[in-house]
Every structure is written in C-alpha cells, then in structure tokens.
C-alpha cells in the first residue's frame, strides 16, 4: 500500500495515533524498535507495554480531571480506552488494567488493522524517511539515544530529559493477610480494592530511617544534571524531605481502619492489584531508585511484607521531552519542518492517558492534513483542549515541564459558578467539559 503517514514509536501515543489516522482512511507505517533493540524497563516486544504503574488513575468523570479525560477519549473512540475497559482489574475508583492482556490486545488490534503496517526497526535518524513524508515522533520517555540526538539536532535543544522511577510488584501469596487487610480509602469502589499494610509510629520512623540510609542507584556522569519529574518522585527522595512527608503522601492513613483491631494506623502502605488473576500487586507510590538488595531489605520491613517475593523490583529511567511551546506550532508540528509532528509524552504531557490522548489528536491532525481537510481543535474547556492549551501556551521558557491533566489547566468557570469551591467546583468543570466535548464531536459529523 502507498504509505501516507510514518509514526515512530509503538507505545500508547504511537498506537493511538496510528489507530485514529488509520480509521480515517490513512495508510500508516508504525515503527517499533523492539525486539531488535530494547530499553532498560521494557520486558516484551508488545505495543503499548506499560512499564511503570498499571493504573490509568481515577476513572471518576464527575469530579476528577483525569476521569474526564478518560470519558472524552471513550467519546472519541480511543483504542487505548476501549482495551483498558476490556481488561480492567479492581482498583477502587481508579482504572487499572492487567498489563499483559492490555498489551496483547493493543498489539492484536493494531496488527490486524488493514491500513496499518508494523515495521520492527530502529529509526536512528529522520533522514531514513522521505523528507516529504508526514511523520509523527511518538517515542515517549524512552527515546533511544541516536534518535534523541537527531531530534536535538533538528530542534536545537540541548537537553531533552528528566528522571522517572518505577515501583516494585509483589506476589500476592507472599503477603501476610493476618497483618494486612483489603480496603479502599473511604470505602470507595467496592471498598476492598487495595491491600493495606499498617505501621505504628516506631515502625514508620524506622522505615523512614532505612529509606534515607539505603544504597541508591548512581547516576552516570552524563545524567547528573537531569531533574526529577515531581509526579514520579522516588519514595526515598520524598522521605529525605522530612519525616512526615510520606505520612501526608502515599502512606497517609486517612479513610482506613485496620480490620484486625479496629484502629486507624499511624501510616499505611497500599498495594494495588496488577493483573486480572490477582496474583500480583504493585506498591502504590513506591517508585524507587534504591539498589535491588536494599529494596528487598527495606520493603520487607513493611508489616505484612516480611516474606514478600518480588515479581519486579523498582528502577530508575531517564525520560525525554521537548520544549513544545518553543518548538511546535498549534498542530504539534515542528516549526522549522512542519511535516514532522510530535505526540505523547515527548511533547510535555505526563501520564498514560495524557500521552495516548495527545497521540490520538496528533493522528487526527495528520490525517486531516493528508486529506486536505481543515481540522478544528477541541475547545479549551475540554480535557483534550486543556492539554493542547498547555502545550500551545506560547510561553517560551527554559523551565517548561511535563504536566498531568488537572483542572488548573482549564479556563476559569463562568461568573455564575466562579464562587464554587472544592468538590462543587470540580463537578462544574467536569460537567462543562463533557458537554463541550459532546457538542464538539457532533459538529464534526
């Protein structure tokens, strides 16, 4: 078939971009370098493999910004959301998936689409592709060094990266349920979607001390000036900021009661189901750069995890993103070479669904351009529009940082509701967004 669009990167953004463009009749080649070349964190060659958490975060589209984004993606026939819904696992009000079944299904759907060809090769330089071709770069946080260098040369950027970390996964049958118990905070979801490991004050303070003194992975010389992204701060970095930091973060005990003694613990470590079988649980918020031996030693200090066996230990990896407001136009095209678009996390959004959403938008943008049709962006009061507004802020700054979707990115509520506070304000934002998206999609038909 005659190829109209080349997409580099078979992650969430690249897969969603390919799907949206192909469904508009565009012939696509999707390049994925695995298995010929892998990364430090990928374990398979599957498209859209989840390498960090298995959670897409809150699915509450009534009062939560990421839940609104979920719902908008469903309204836009997102492949990623269709498959996430198909292979979800219990996670309270969050949407979490069986990562293996999820990746298998994405791979199946993309590979069987008549308008998509998957090419397993590493794209080292953009000169490998016809300069007249439409290209989407969706290589995400783990862009291989040769291509990253090519992007730096194209953009004039000096730095493209920050650090991210992944959390460990525990075998369920090695968790002591005589100590731990099932409960969601405030009994959300079916109220039993998380395993809770309680700590008293002495145990908590000893745990913080162990985190602070544990041996950490060392940076390579060329990595030393790379900053952390706050959304995935390693647990030991948070602990170093003060003894109470974790008790007001991922280890907060509010909304939980120990069923074994009917008391509220001083601190709690939560684990979330990681696969549909319920045989694996990940430690929520416990991204880490501790060395493997110290991970086992320190995390087995957690009550209930004294004999824990780990299916995967935590790790540290270097993420890549560009300064989008400076380099890209309103359709995510490189200003200096507008046949090249960027999509997903490399543009400066953070999170699975944010990356997939921007991938979907980029796929549609490219398809409309190839078809010589005018593309209208979603309104800024939708979650998709708010993400684009963040990327197209026009604020040219060296301090541009990746951002998760949040209501702070949305335009202010109108005068009649501007005095709303708390949950009422969030409900107003969410309701306005979904109504606006429905109207936008109706106008596209």
380 HSE (CA, 13 A, CB side): 12
pLDDT of residue 222: 36
Residues 135, 341: contact at Cβ < 8 Å?
Answer: yes
Among 355, 439, 393, residue whose Cα is nearest residue 9: 355
pLDDT digit string (tens) for 251-266?
999 999 999 999 999 9
Does the fold of domain 165-318 match that of domain 5-159+321-444?
A: no
- Give DSSP secondary structure letters for 52-68: S-SEEEE--TTT-HHHH
Report the b/e string of 32-59 with b at 16+ CB within 10 A.
bbbeeeebebbeebbbbbbbbbbbbbbb
Q: Which residue has the higher pLDDT, 86 or 395?
A: 86
Digit-coded pLDDT (tens) for 101-157: 999 999 999 999 999 999 999 999 888 787 778 999 999 878 888 888 888 888 887
- What is the reported pLDDT for 231? 59
- DSSP label at residue 379: P
State how far the Cα of 441 lies from the Cα of 54, in Å rounded to an integer.
29
Total number of residues shown for the chain:
445
Q: How many CB atoms neighbour CB 258 within 10 A?
A: 17
Rounded CA Rg of the chain: 22
Q: How do residues 152-208 score in pLDDT, each as one tens digit?
A: 888 887 767 666 677 899 999 999 999 999 999 888 767 788 999 999 999 999 999
Cα torsion at 395, 399, 404, 406 (round to 10°)? -50
Place domain 5-159+321-444 in its CATH homologous superfamily: FAD/NAD(P)-binding domain (3.50.50.60)
Mean pLDDT of 27-46: 89
pLDDT value, residue 221:
41
Nearest to 405 by CA among 4, 41, 65, 172: 65
SS3 sequence of 175-229: CCCCCCEECCHHHCCCCCCEEEEEECHHHHHHHHHHHHHCCECCCCHHHCCCCEC
Q: Yes or no: say if 89 and 273 are a contact pair by the CB < 8 Å rule.
A: yes
Q: What's the confidence (pLDDT) of residue 237?
A: 87
Enumerate the domain spans of the chain. Answer: 5-159+321-444, 165-318
CATH code at 165-318: 2.40.30.260
* pLDDT band, residue 42 (cuts 50/70/90): confident
Distance CA(63)–CA(308), nearest Å, equals 36
């Amino acid at each position: 078939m005659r190829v109209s669009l080349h997409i580099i990167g078979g992650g969430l953004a690249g897969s969603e971009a390919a799907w949206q463009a192909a469904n508009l009749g565009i012939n696509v080649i999707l390049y994925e370098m695995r298995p010929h070349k892998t990364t430090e964190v990928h374990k398979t060659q599957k498209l859209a493999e989840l390498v960090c958490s298995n959670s897409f975060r809150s699915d509450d589209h009534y009062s939560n910004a990421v839940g609104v984004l979920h719902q908008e993606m469903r309204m836009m026939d997102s492949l990623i959301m269709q498959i996430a819904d198909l292979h979800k696992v219990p996670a309270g009000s969050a949407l979490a998936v069986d990562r293996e079944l999820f990746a298998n299904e994405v791979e199946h759907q993309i590979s069987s689409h008549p308008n998509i060809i998957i090419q397993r090769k590493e794209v080292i330089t953009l000169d490998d592709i016809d300069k007249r071709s439409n290209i989407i770069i969706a290589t995400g946080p783990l862009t291989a060094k040769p291509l990253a260098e090519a992007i730096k040369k194209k953009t004039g950027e000096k730095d493209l990266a920050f650090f991210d970390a992944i959390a460990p996964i525990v075998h369920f049958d090695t968790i002591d349920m005589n100590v731990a118990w099932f409960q969601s905070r405030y009994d959300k979801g079916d109220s039993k979607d998380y395993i809770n490991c309680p700590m008293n004050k002495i145990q908590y303070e000893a745990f913080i001390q162990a985190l602070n003194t544990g041996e950490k992975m060392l940076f390579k010389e060329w990595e030393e000036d790379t900053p952390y992204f706050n959304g995935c701060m390693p647990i030991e970095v948070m602990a170093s900021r003060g003894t109470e930091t974790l008790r007001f973060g991922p280890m907060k005990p509010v909304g939980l009661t120990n069923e074994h003694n009917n008391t509220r613990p001083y601190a709690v470590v939560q684990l979330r189901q990681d696969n549909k079988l319920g045989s694996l649980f990940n430690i929520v918020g416990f991204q880490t750069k501790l060395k493997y031996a110290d991970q086992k030693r320190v995390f087995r200090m957690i009550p209930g995890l004294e004999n824990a066996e780990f299916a995967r230990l935590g790790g540290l990896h270097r993420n890549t993103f560009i300064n989008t407001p400076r380099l890209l136009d309103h359709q995510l095209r490189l200003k200096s070479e507008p046949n090249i678009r960027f999509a997903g996390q490399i543009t400066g959004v953070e999170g699975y669904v944010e990356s997939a959403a921007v991938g979907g938008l980029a796929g549609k943008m490219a398809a409309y351009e190839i078809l010589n049709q005018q593309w209208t962006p979603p309104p800024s009061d939708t979650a998709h529009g708010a993400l684009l507004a963040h990327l197209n802020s026009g604020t040219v700054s060296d301090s541009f940082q990746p951002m998760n979707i949040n209501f702070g990115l949305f335009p202010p509520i109108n005068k009649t509701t501007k005095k709303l506070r708390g949950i009422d304000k969030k409900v107003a934002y969410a309701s306005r967004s979904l109504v606006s998206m429905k109207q936008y999609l109706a106008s596209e038909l």
